[in-house]
Structure 1
């Protein structure tokens, strides 16, 4: 009965997260074209979420049937994609927070830092970091999963022997959360005091909501599963935390929405300005036409 409940939860996450992230990725690529650092980080975040979502059908199959017949290699691959999502998502979300901090608090001094090319390089380094970490961890999990290929996720504990990598990832997530807390505090203080060298922000609520969502993602999705990786000995006890962590792929599109709101308004303003300029030119032509 419990496994069936997990199957329903993962099915709901896939049903909500898949269309939201596909639409979000299409909007980012179609309308932003990687022309801003935030857009670059959000595209990578959406890709990370989609990589997690495509593994959910196999999790649903396992928890619905209680059996695994796809072999240990597929099992470990799915497990690693889930872990990669937690790690890459937490880093990209932190990048977005830092980018918003620089844009709001130090708009002029940070222009040479906030470039699409730097964002692309940073994103490539994140993926390389995640892939390099996969090698020792994946090999270790493959050995454990090969001993029992019928139970998959229940036989691949996060903390087998509590390897140093588990502690490293927990410390990494906690450091990233602290960075997000500092960014949130600095932006809130800046918006409240209207500093002269800060950017003029029209929609302060949306800006604060971005940071609020980032904090929610860390507190609910990233920290519990990272902490459970070194405290929980039974893999089945970690499943609820994995469910919570998977919810991040449904919450991330909200982050895109609040970030894209300014873009749509800006686009409308530019569009109206062009129409007004065209109308003004037409009127000027008629006024100066010789009688």
Structure 2
């Protein structure tokens, strides 16, 4: 594997990944886009069925699919950058793509927390907090999440931290200058608010549900497995998809020399690639674990099977 190289006339503060590595990421993201757009579009339909059934969970699932679709569309802006190694779209488009990235991170994590807490209330306190599980309440919470994330991103994402030009060489997001004091504080806030707190909330909800269904003999074995499978996927999404990128953010706050920061380039890119798998993990929640999701998947499969048989009979 090729080593990281430095572009001509650049210091250690401007590391450039090799073409083979960049393009491997490009094909990875292209596979994500091709898979995530149809799966999340279908997830919008499935979650809408939940909402029609007056199920508050469907609101969170719908917003998750919407967040993933938005991120996937924004991800397409990076393909040209990964192919050429140069950002040619200008600073404003760069800021927009970075905004899409962080918006997906924190709306997804907040919504996954809402799903975990919703299931916790449904299982552990089925009659006590029913107002929190209504569609209108879930919709208000969803709007509040989007607004809070928008406001947080607007105050923490800056031009100098997202886009940089050195002569005619422009980079977007892959800026490995030592962090300013402000960005150190922002990264610490992202680590605590955007990872630690959501992770603890999901762990608490999963543990509470596990204890409840284990001691409740009335809960059917199939229902018990379905609930625990749902919470396990939520927990893995938060830990696996968002853990590495936030650890990288935390590591960057401890480094104030270009040569120290430069070695983080490739691990940092891997952590971002891992976080993008969230767009594929989320549809698993509603399409293959929830009852409505399974039913709709089965309907689609049955539709295509019938259509295939009909076409075969026409040929015969």
TM-score band w.r.t. shorter chain: 0.7 to 0.9
Q: Is the aligned partner of 1:216 residue 2:236?
A: yes
Compute the displacement of 1:147 (Å).
Answer: 3.5
What corresponds to 2:265 in structure 1?
Answer: 236
Q: Secondary structure at the match of 1:40?
A: helix
Distance 1:215 1:74, change over 3 A: same
User: Any stretches of 5+ residues in structure 2 without a counterpart?
Assistant: 1-19, 253-260, 299-316
Q: CA deviation at 1:26?
A: 1.9
Instruction: Quickly say closer, same or farther: Cα 1:39–1:259, change in 2 above 3 A.
Output: farther
Task: Name the SS of the counterpart of 1:112 in structure 2.
Answer: helix
Mark the runs of 5 or more structure 1 residues left unpaired by the alignment: 269-291
Task: Pick closer, same or farther for the CA change 1:144–1:220 going to 2, 3 Å.
Answer: closer
Q: Match of 2:170?
A: 150
Provide the residue aligned with 2:115 in structure 1: 96
Q: Is structure 2 residue 54 aligned with structure 1 residue 24?
A: no
- Partner-residue secondary structure (3-state), 2:76: helix
1:141 alignment partner in structure 2: 159
* Change over 3 Å in CA distance of 1:174–1:159 after alignment to 2: farther
> Given that residues 166 and 229 in structure 1 are in contact (C-alpha distance below 8 angstroms), is that contact kept between their aligned partners in structure 2?
yes
Which of 239, 245, 249 is the equivalent residue of 2:279? 249
Deviation at 1:239, TM superposition (A): 0.8
Q: Give, in angstroms, the shift of residue 144 of structure 1.
A: 5.4
The Cα of 1:103 is off from its aligned counterpart by 0.8
Give yes or no for the alignment of 1:51 onto 2:70: yes
Output the TM-score relative to the length of structure 2: 0.76
Question: Quick one: distance in 2 between partners of 1:98 and 1:221?
Answer: 19
Q: Is the 8 A contact 1:225 1:242 kept in 2?
A: yes
RMSD: 2.5
Residue 87 of structure 1 aligns to a residue whose secondary structure is helix
Instruction: Give, in angstroms, the shift of residue 230 of structure 1.
Output: 2.4
In 2: Cα distance, 1:84 partner to 1:95 partner: 16
In structure 1, C-alpha distance between the alignment counterparts of 2:188 and 2:206, rounded to whole Å: 26
- In the TM superposition, residue 88 of structure 1 has moved relative to its aligned partner by 0.8
Deviation at 1:34, TM superposition (A): 7.4
Pick the structure with greater CA Rg.
1
Segment of structure 1 superposing worse, 143-152 or 78-87: 143-152
CA shift for structure 1 position 107: 1.0
Question: What's the CA shift string for 1:5-43, capped at 9, x where partnerless?
Answer: 110111111111111001111222256337221101111
1:27-38 paired onto structure 2 within 5 Å: 27-30=46-49, 32-33=51-52, 35-38=54-57
SS in 2 for 1:147: strand
Q: Per the alignment, do residues 63 and 156 of structure 1 end up closer, same or farther by CA in structure 2, a change over 3 Å counting?
A: same
Is the counterpart of residue 168 in structure 1 residue 189 in structure 2?
yes
**Matching residue of 1:181:** 203
Q: Which moved more, 1:186-195 or 1:229-238?
A: 229-238
Higher mean displacement: 10-19 or 229-238: 229-238
Counterpart in 2 of 1:108? 127
Indicate how the Cα distance of structure 1 residues 81 and 107 shifts in structure 2: closer, same or farther if over 3 A, else same.
same
Offset at residue 262 of structure 1 (A): 5.1
